[in-house]
Amino acid sequence: MTLKLAGLVSALALTAALGACATAPGGSEMTLPAATAPVAPVAPAFAYADDIHSNARPAEARVKHVALDLSADFAAKTLSGTATLDVTGRVGATEVVLDTKTLDIRAVRDARGNPLRFELGAMDAIKGQALTVHLPAFTGAETQKIVVDYATRPDAAALQWLSPQQTAGGQKPYLFSQGQAILTRTWVPTQDSPGIRQTYSARITAPADLTVVMSAEHLTPQGEAAGAGKKAWRFDMDRPIPPYLMAVAIGDIAFAPFDERTGVWTEPSRLQAAHWELEPTAQMVDAAETLYGPYRWGRYDLLVLPPSFPFGGMENPRLTFATPTIIAGDRSLVSLVAHELAHSWSGNLVTNATWSDIWLNEGTTTYFENRIMEVLYGRERALQEQALGWADLMAEIAVTPPDDTRLHIDLTGRDPDDGLSGIPYDKGAAFLRTIERIVGREKFDAWLRGYFDRHAFQPMTDVGFLADIRANLVKGDAALEAQLQLDNWIYQPGMPSNAQAPVSHAFEAVDVAAKAFFADKGPASAIDWKSWNTQQRQRFLAWRPEGLKAGADWLTNAQLADLEKTLNLANEGNAELTFAWLQIALAHRYEPAVATADRFLTSQGRRKFVLPLFQTLWNEGDWGRPIATRIYAKARPLYHPVTSRSVDQLVGQS
């Protein structure tokens, strides 16, 4: 799961410029309000989307730049120091509202050091506390600076402080952040909304024997002396990004380049393996640029984190954070790199303005990822991954409340993390593949490349997306509009009638083998496992009998033992395959797999794997729940809060 970014133009303003009409979810036309005209020149000069997950009021005053000066205290598990914010506002505005959560605010001052009056609002379980800072009234387009003196708390949800024992080297501590969706406010006091893009700079002080990296340009690659046993590291991000892409990591890490603009960071003992595994990254950047235009962020590096990282990857600009579970030893899982790289266009360059439209990030990126994979590995490999995604989508739609199978979802009263599933990824990608199939790849690619150019460094909404595609691709063609079913894809549950399942001929023999073993009870020795690639093996392990009811047994212990031994699944090194095997084995209460599950769940914290496996155990009642409780008691201290929060809701804190 992987959870993305100055004169901007809002979706509503764009729609107004294109005719002020759009199609409502029910299919009828609705007139949208024009963007509110400012009283006098301000920055920004556009109407913001209403973000229910932020306390900010950017139409009155907004943060343009954040300058951090923080010191990392590994003993106290805190970052402390200052955040200096550049704020602009409408004429007459006298306050700016920031987002904070579990931050200790010590003081707020102006640029000259004079104290500014501020209040912290009531705590909201989802949004945290509004920090309202009172300012002299804005008189025009001037910028005011405010300096927030603060410290994070040890339980800040964006930060994970790892002991040396939780790292590969076992000698030094480690810290990393994870800001998506609304966790940046737990370590930076700012307007934490994806529609309020900000530049940032930072000076981070840390123990001298550690290295600091951030999602920004390294201004001091070797650090600089900062007192006894300390070094300071400076960074700058001069392109406006959404706050969830501010990211930091501190640890015993080393770097190896792939070429002049790409490379990988990770712990020294893992650097050689990570470098070999991820070497195709340089080719991926070239392929992506050929498809949809220049890469606009300077460098593209990866940081392979310790195993507690909760997502597959996080597309922090210039420095993708990645799970070590992609290091499979055969480059079979590098599509994750293609996905995070694609976010450099869809997500970081053109960003969902609110979390209700996360499909604009993830669906577009999943489509783009597959196009990169096709360039590098061929059409058949791309079709295999499409087909796997389609199967996951069908399974998820079958068990998801209908309202949450829409692309544009209602997150009222919910943490945006609770609304995140595979649907915005795979349904969003299927939507774009449908458009491509109907209009032709050449026309579609020209539109998508233009879309990235037209809205570079801007937020986007579902309404803005529809306005753009109608203006620049449909162009008033009523027959094409009817074929595309644009509104049905975004606003209606399930799958529209023009959706088509992708077909991979490489899966035909796999499906025959799966039926022969799983349904016809043939021997595992007949499975052509060694000749299959990882995607074919995933397809085999994902096979289920037609009409299978939840909790139904469809394999015997003898079959499970035959499968485990013949395919050596207890010792499988590919995390995707281990996960797929455990989903089968635990659902059948196969005791020999419990030890494998224990090792797997206590050696990595990727939520994509962790939460479903605990769910499977929990579903097995008197057999599975004691196992889940026992394993979680050991595993929970190793997990990032993003993962433990999800599992807590299921298993509870042990």
Q: How would you label 630-653 residue by residue, b for 16+ Cβ within 10 Å and e otherwise? A: ebbeebbebbbbbbbbbbeeebee
What is the DSSP track for 553-579?
Answer: --S-HHHHHHHHHHTTGGG---HHHHH
CA angle 229, 235, 236 (to 5 degrees): 165
Contact 573, 534 (CB under 8 A): no
Contact 392, 483 (CB under 8 A): no
The 3 state secondary structure assigned to 108-141 is EEECCCCECCEEECCCECCCEEEEEEECCCCCCC
Q: The tokens of 499 are what? A: 């959706």
Question: Which of 216, 285, 279 minimizes the C-alpha distance to 249?
Answer: 216
Q: Dihedral, CA atoms, 537, 539, 542, 547, nearest 10 degrees?
A: -150
Provide the annotated active-site residues.
340, 425
CA dist 172 and 276 (Å) reads 25
CA dist 168 and 190 (Å) reads 34
Q: How would you label 61-74 residue by residue, b for 16+ Cβ within 10 Å and e otherwise? A: bbbbbbbbbbbbbb
Contact 452, 349 (CB under 8 A): yes
604 residue type, one letter: Q
Contact 11, 21 (CB under 8 A): no
Residue 21: phi and psi, rounded to 5, are -130, 145
473 residue type, one letter: L
Give me the residue label for tokens 């087909």. 387
Cis status of the peptide bond prior to 181, with omega within 30 of 0: yes
Residue 320: phi and psi, rounded to 5, are -65, 130
Q: Is 16 helix (H, G, I), strand (E, B) or coil?
A: helix
C-alpha separations of 114 from 107, 120, 141, 147, 461 in Å: 10, 19, 22, 10, 40
What distance lies between CA 263 and its chain's CA centroid? 21
Question: Which of 329, 332, 337 minimizes the C-alpha distance to 571?
Answer: 329
Q: The tokens of 249 are what? A: 């990591």
Q: Is 325 helix (H, G, I), strand (E, B) or coil?
A: helix
Which residues pair with residue 148 across a beta bridge?
83, 108
CA dist 342 and 337 (Å) reads 8
